[in-house]
Structures are given as structure tokens and as C-alpha cells.
Amino acid sequence: MMIRQLLSSDAQAYRALMLQAYGAYPQAFTSSVAERAAMPLNWWQKRLDSPLDRLLGAFEGDQLAGIVGLAFEPREKARHKVTLFGMYVTQAHQQRGLGRQLVEAALAEACRHPRLTLIQLTVTAGNDAALALYQRCGFIQYGLEPLAVRVGDEYFDKIHLWRELADQ
């Protein structure tokens, strides 16, 4: 398995994988399949080219099997923080350690930016496997956002986690 930064030339595979993620786990993402499917391919390309986002993909051969993103904070007083987002591993590649490899790659990437001192993320309450993964990677819960995501008539809370990058 090779993990590398996604490029604008990966936009089609990125789009397909994220639409799969939104469909498989609608409670885990704040965007819906319909919202993102309506976005043109150049929207996905721009996201991959943005200096404020860094997206890493795990490839098995030429097949994108997992993804994780880092969103850098543009505001001066918050530039010491980065947000891990969009974590997803295809069902065929789950339970094989790929999630941990992606989180570790994201942490390593964040550590390459000396101004960053902490990384934060949210995980949907009830997603025990993801929560356990993040905790194994050193993340600590600091809050709970009630009713954070609505899917149909059902609401889901989000657990907020963080960790220092100096620990990496």
C-alpha cells in the first residue's frame, strides 16, 4: 500500500471514493451524497490544488483505497492548528491497519509544518472503531457537540478530539 498526496489528476478517483463514503456512512460526514455529487469535477480538482487543504490517498496499485485530509487554518490567530477531516477506508480494506497508516501519514505531514502545534478532528458518536483508532494515535476528547449532523429525521453528536503535534 502506497500513501501519497493526491494531485488534481486524482480528482475523478477522489470524487468517486468520497461519494462512496458519503453514501456508506452518511452520519459520519456533514456533506451529503447529493450535495457533493452535484459539484463539478473542477470543484474537486480545486480542492486538491488548494494550499489550505492537503489530501493523502492510500493506493493499492492504481486503486484508491483510503483517504484522509488536513485543513490548514488561514486566520492568523489560529494558524497553529490543523484539522484532520474526510477520513475513509473502503470496506474491502478495513480491518487491515490502513486507517492507522493514514492517520500516521497525516500526523507526519502536519509535523512538516513547523508553525503547527496541534491537530484536531471530530468523530461521530457511536463510531467506536474510529474513536478507538484516534485514541490509539494519541488523540484526547475535549468536547461533545450535540445534534451536530442530521440525516433524515435522526441527529448524531460529534465528539471533538485533539492532540499536540510535538508528541509525534
| Model confidence at 167: pLDDT above 80 | no
Mean pLDDT of 16-22: 97
The pLDDT confidence band at residue 166, using thresholds 50, 70 and 90, is confident
Total count of domains within the chain: 1
CATH number, domain containing residue 91: 3.40.630.30
> Helix 128-136 and helix 98-111: axis angle, to 10°?
50
pLDDT digits (tens, 9 = 90+) for 56-107: 999 999 999 999 999 999 999 999 999 999 999 999 999 899 999 999 999 9
Q: Which three cell numbers stand for residue 77?
A: 490567530
Reading phi first (left if > 0) and then psi (alpha if -120 to 50, else beta), residue 97 is in left
pTM metric for this prediction: 0.94
* pLDDT of res. 99: 96
Q: Give which of 25, 1, 30 is closest to 149, Cα–Cα.
A: 30
Average pLDDT, the chain: 95
The mean pLDDT value for 27-39 works out to 94
Look up the domain containing 122 and give its range. 2-164
